[in-house]
């Protein structure tokens, strides 16, 4: 796609008679900075065609600024347009920096990578956590964790459901205290 020429970037805007100078002044300003704008787009974004988009935003801002003030010369308009072009280039560069994605989801493995030592680590952690707990309470805690009812756990251990439940509560309270966890989980 061929780049627009500076004259194509000066679209026809209807100005009141006292502000017709803006179009002529901007046309000269665009011709002055156009090559630098193309170079900036190529070096900073790797795409020279972005110069047109960035320049259009800069022209719009420059027109709004020039409408508010007294007439200026082409040199001052060039400086103003160059400043607005640089602002828009910085804004786009900053936005692009936030949206940097490397690779795609298609490159991710279909099954998550698992640590082959995870079961061993878990067993060691569990042993450390349950250290000092009587064997029947350990078994009761593990059975409860596997969704067994208190009555089923009591039957397996040969005791009452209320007794094993209280013993498990006491053991959990000691474990929480050792780990520095309050009773409400904080």
- Is the pLDDT at 152 greater than 70, yes or no? yes
pLDDT at 159: 94
Residue 86 has pLDDT above 90, yes or no: yes
Mean pLDDT check: name the lowest of 64-68, 107-111, 113-117, 173-177. Answer: 107-111
CB 36 within 8 A of CB 82: yes
Q: Residue 66 above 50 pLDDT?
A: yes
Vertex 136, ends 135 and 141: CA angle to 5°?
Answer: 95
Q: Which of 12-26, 102-116, 147-161 has the lowest mean pLDDT?
A: 102-116
**142-165 per-residue burial string, b: 16 or more CB within 10 A, e: under 16:** ebbeeeeebeebbeebeeeeeebe
Check residue 45 and give its pLDDT.
86
Confirm or reject CATH 1.10.10 for domain 118-179, answering yes or no: yes
**pLDDT at residue 182 tops 90:** no
pLDDT in tens, 90-140: 998 888 777 666 667 677 666 666 777 888 888 888 888 888 899 999 999
Residues in CB range of 94: below 8 A, 6 or more apart? none
Closest CA to 167 of 140, 132, 127: 140
Confidence at residue 102, expressed as pLDDT on a 0 to 100 scale = 66
Name the residue ranges covered by the structural domains of the chain.
6-98, 118-179
């Amino acid at each position: 796609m061929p780049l627009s020429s500076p004259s194509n970037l000066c679209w026809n805007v209807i100005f009141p008679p006292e502000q017709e100078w803006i179009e002529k002044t901007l046309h000269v300003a665009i011709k002055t900075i156009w090559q630098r704008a193309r170079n900036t787009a190529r070096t900073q974004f790797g795409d020279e065609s972005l110069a047109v988009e960035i320049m259009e935003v800069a022209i719009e801002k420059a027109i709004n600024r020039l409408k508010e003030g007294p007439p200026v010369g082409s040199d001052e308009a060039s400086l103003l347009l160059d400043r607005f072009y640089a602002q828009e280039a910085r804004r786009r560069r900053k936005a692009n920096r936030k949206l940097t994605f490397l690779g795609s989801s298609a490159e991710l493995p279909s099954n998550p990578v698992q640590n082959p030592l995870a079961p061993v680590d878990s067993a060691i952690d569990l042993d450390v956590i349950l250290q000092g707990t009587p064997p029947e309470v350990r078994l009761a805690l593990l059975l409860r964790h596997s969704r067994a009812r208190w009555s089923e756990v009591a039957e397996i251990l040969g005791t009452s459901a209320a007794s094993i439940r209280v013993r498990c509560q006491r053991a959990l309270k000691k474990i929480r205290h050792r780990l520095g966890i309050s009773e409400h989980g904080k």
